[in-house]
Amino acid sequence: MFPRSISLRSTQKRLTVAGVVGTSAALLFSLMSPAASAAPAPDNPVPYGKGYMGVGYLQDGKDFKPDARQLHLGARADADLKANPEGVDVSSWQGGINWSSVRGAGIEFAWMKATEGLTYTDPTFSDNYLNAYNAGVIRGAYHFARPDVSGGAAQANFFADHGGAWSRDNLTLPGVLDIEGTCYGYSQADMQQWVLDFYNTYKARTGRDVVIYTSPSWWNECTGGWDGMAARSPLWVANWTTGTPSIPSGFPSWTVWQYSSTGAVGGVSGNVDRDRFGGDRSRLLALANNTP
């Protein structure tokens, strides 16, 4: 979903300018320091701190094309899954949220952005995390991955230190690694290792398997359809479509499905991403509480 305050054209312009400036700076630095060439070069990621779930849905390791998101506006899931718990995912782009109204609208779970990269914390996270809890929404935190900034282990520690922790209290979901958009100049093998380093560190810190949010095309292109996380992490698939979602190669099934970027929910101003859980409420609580 695009932030209400940013036009598609101006977003594209800023991303283009940021890419040119970033490329020039990287080239200058590489000339000054031979060691710099050892780090993967990002291929036009979103501006630092501006990431949110779905921002790279149609980027898929290529040039970011925000206008293309219009192709999926209004997509909704079929009614045959309505018994499954409904959820949302949010970040600072939504502004203030009335979580009591969100719960009253039938939303049972939510994930909210906590961190990005190695230094960015979402300014609305603390309020969202507390207020959702008080409203009875089963909630959790997510981290927007920036492999161009640091290794996976460092970002997992940053996430765990700034909202990604977990407790068995019937209302807290495990943390999410949101990884999408561009391959950041990594080879498939190196990206696999980045994800695994994040997973291992997060699990050592929290005792939980991190949930992976991604799109089929990103995972297939940037990890080669790697199956190394299938037995470790629940999959949250981004696939704005009707019917049933496509899933990345390497995963047998989905646990959470982000099916639209243009949902309307009481308590949230403007569009909000809509999600569906792959089981009933008892399974959602099992994921929250780490029980069979």
Residue tagged active-site, from 60, 116, 122, 180: 180
Residue tagged active-site, from 89, 108, 122, 221: 89
Catalytic site residue 180? yes
Catalytic site residue 275? no
Query: What residues have CB less than 8 Å from 152, skipping those under 6 apart?
Result: 145, 193, 194, 195, 196, 197, 198, 199, 201
Give the side-chain half-sphere CA count within 13 A for 47.
12
Q: Specify whether the CB–CB gap between 105 and 126 falls below 8 A.
A: no
Distance CA(182)–CA(184), nearest Å, equals 5
Residue tagged active-site, from 178, 209, 221, 275: 178
Report CA-CA distances (Å) from 99 to 103, 140, 261, 269: 6, 14, 19, 12
Which positions are catalytic? 89, 178, 180
